[in-house]
Chains A and B, each alone.
Chain A
Amino acid sequence: MNIVLAVWEKGIRPLSRVLGIVSAILCAGLALLLTLEVIFRASTGGGIRGMFEISELVLVMIAFLGFGQAESNKVHVRVSLLTDRLGAPFRLRLQGIALLLCAVFLVWMGSELAMRALESVQTGEFRTGLLNFPVWPGRTFAAVGAGLLALVMLVKGIIMIGGHEAQGGRSANSQEVPAGVI
Chain B
Amino acid sequence: MSSELIVLIVLVLFFLMLAIEMPVAFALGFSGAIGVIMLHSFDVASSVLANVPYESTAKFSLVVIPLYILLGAMATQARIPERIYGLINRVVGRFRGGMAIATIGACGGFAAVSGSSVATAATLGKISVRQMIRHGYRPELATGIVAIGATLGILIPPSIILIMYSIMSGESIEALFSAGIIPGILSAIAYIITALVVLRRQSPVPAEDLVRFAGLDEAVAVGAGRADPMLRQQAEGGGTAVLSKTATSGGSRPSGGSTASSSGSIGSVSLFSEWRSVFWLGAILVAVLMGIFTGTTTLTESAGVASVVALVAVVAEHFKGGVRTVVGKVRDALAETAAVTSMIFAIVIGAGIFAYFLVSARVPNNVSRFFADVDLPPILIVILILVMIIPLGMFLESMAVVVIVVPIVYPTIIELGFDGIWFAILLVKLVEVGLLTPPVGMNCFVISGATGIPLERVFKGVAPFLVCEVVIVAVLIIFPDIVLWLPGVVESMGSSTGP
Q: Do A and B interact directly, with beta carbons closer than 8 Å?
A: yes
Knowing A34-B304, A37-B301, A115-B50, the reply to whether A24 touches B337 (Cβ < 8 A) is: yes
Contacting residues, chain A, for B455 (C-beta < 8 A) = 81, 84
Are B21's CB and A42's CB within 8 A? no
The answer to whether the Cβ of B466 comes within 8 Å of any Cβ in the partner chain is no
Are A101's CB and B445's CB within 8 A? no
Are B57's CB and A64's CB within 8 A? yes
Are B160's CB and A182's CB within 8 A? yes
Knowing A31-B304, A138-B54, the reply to whether A182 touches B20 (Cβ < 8 A) is: no
How far does the Cβ of B97 sit from chain A's closest Cβ, in whole Å? 26
How far does the Cβ of A106 sit from chain B's closest Cβ, in whole Å? 7
**Partner pick for A102 among B30, B125, B258, CB 8 A cutoff:** B30
Query: Within A70-84, which residues are at the interface with B (CB < 8 Å)?
Result: 70-71, 73, 75-84
Contacting residues, chain B, for A21 (C-beta < 8 A) = 335
Are A174's CB and B254's CB within 8 A? yes
Are A79's CB and B304's CB within 8 A? no
How far does the Cβ of B346 sit from chain A's closest Cβ, in whole Å? 6
Contacting residues, chain B, for A37 (C-beta < 8 A) = 301, 304
The answer to whether the Cβ of A166 comes within 8 Å of any Cβ in the partner chain is no
Contacting residues, chain B, for A78 (C-beta < 8 A) = 18, 21-24
**Partner pick for A77 among B17, B24, B57, B70, CB 8 A cutoff:** B24
Are A98's CB and B341's CB within 8 A? no
Contacting residues, chain B, for A80 (C-beta < 8 A) = 21
Per-residue CB contact flags for chain B residues 390-416 toward chain A (1 = under 8 Å, else 0) read 000000011100000000000000000
**Partner pick for B342 among A70, A101, A182, CB 8 A cutoff:** A70
Query: Within A38-57, which residues are at the interface with B (CB < 8 Å)?
Result: 38, 41-42, 52, 55-57
The answer to whether the Cβ of B344 comes within 8 Å of any Cβ in the partner chain is yes
Contacting residues, chain A, for B125 (C-beta < 8 A) = 175
Are B118's CB and A182's CB within 8 A? yes
Contacting residues, chain B, for A155 (C-beta < 8 A) = none
How far does the Cβ of B309 sit from chain A's closest Cβ, in whole Å? 9
Contacting residues, chain B, for A25 (C-beta < 8 A) = 334
The answer to whether the Cβ of B450 comes within 8 Å of any Cβ in the partner chain is yes
Are A112's CB and B338's CB within 8 A? no
How far does the Cβ of A177 sit from chain B's closest Cβ, in whole Å? 8
Knowing A75-B340, A79-B21, the reply to whether A182 touches B154 (Cβ < 8 A) is: yes
Per-residue CB contact flags for chain A residues 140-182 toward chain B (1 = under 8 Å, else 0) read 0010011000000000000000000000001111111111111
Q: In chain A, what residue has the closest Cβ to B34?
A: A105
The answer to whether the Cβ of B126 comes within 8 Å of any Cβ in the partner chain is yes
Q: In chain B, what residue has the closest Cβ to A37?
A: B301
Q: How many A residues, CB 8 Å from partner?
A: 79
Knowing A23-B342, A75-B343, A181-B69, the reply to whether A176 touches B255 (Cβ < 8 A) is: yes
How far does the Cβ of B15 sit from chain A's closest Cβ, in whole Å? 9
The answer to whether the Cβ of B19 comes within 8 Å of any Cβ in the partner chain is yes
How far does the Cβ of A168 sit from chain B's closest Cβ, in whole Å? 11
Per-residue CB contact flags for chain B residues 201-237 toward chain A (1 = under 8 Å, else 0) read 0000000000000000000000000000000000000
Knowing A81-B438, A181-B118, the reply to whether A69 touches B311 (Cβ < 8 A) is: no
Contacting residues, chain A, for B145 (C-beta < 8 A) = none
The answer to whether the Cβ of B187 comes within 8 Å of any Cβ in the partner chain is no
How far does the Cβ of A63 sit from chain B's closest Cβ, in whole Å? 4
Knowing A35-B304, A82-B20, A181-B116, the reply to whether A105 touches B343 (Cβ < 8 A) is: no
Q: What would 14 A/B residue contacts be, using CB atoms closer than 8 Å?
A: A63-B341, A66-B341, A102-B23, A102-B30, A112-B50, A116-B54, A142-B57, A175-B255, A177-B339, A178-B119, A178-B336, A179-B446, A181-B72, A182-B397
Partner-B contacts on A (CB < 8 A): 20-21, 23-28, 30-35, 37-38, 41-42, 52, 55-60, 62-67, 69-71, 73, 75-84, 94-95, 97-99, 101-102, 104-106, 108-109, 112-113, 115-116, 138-139, 142, 145-146, 170-182
Other A-B pairs beyond A78-B24, A112-B47, A178-B446, 10, CB < 8 Å = A31-B307, A37-B301, A38-B297, A41-B296, A71-B23, A78-B21, A83-B20, A101-B30, A112-B46, A181-B344
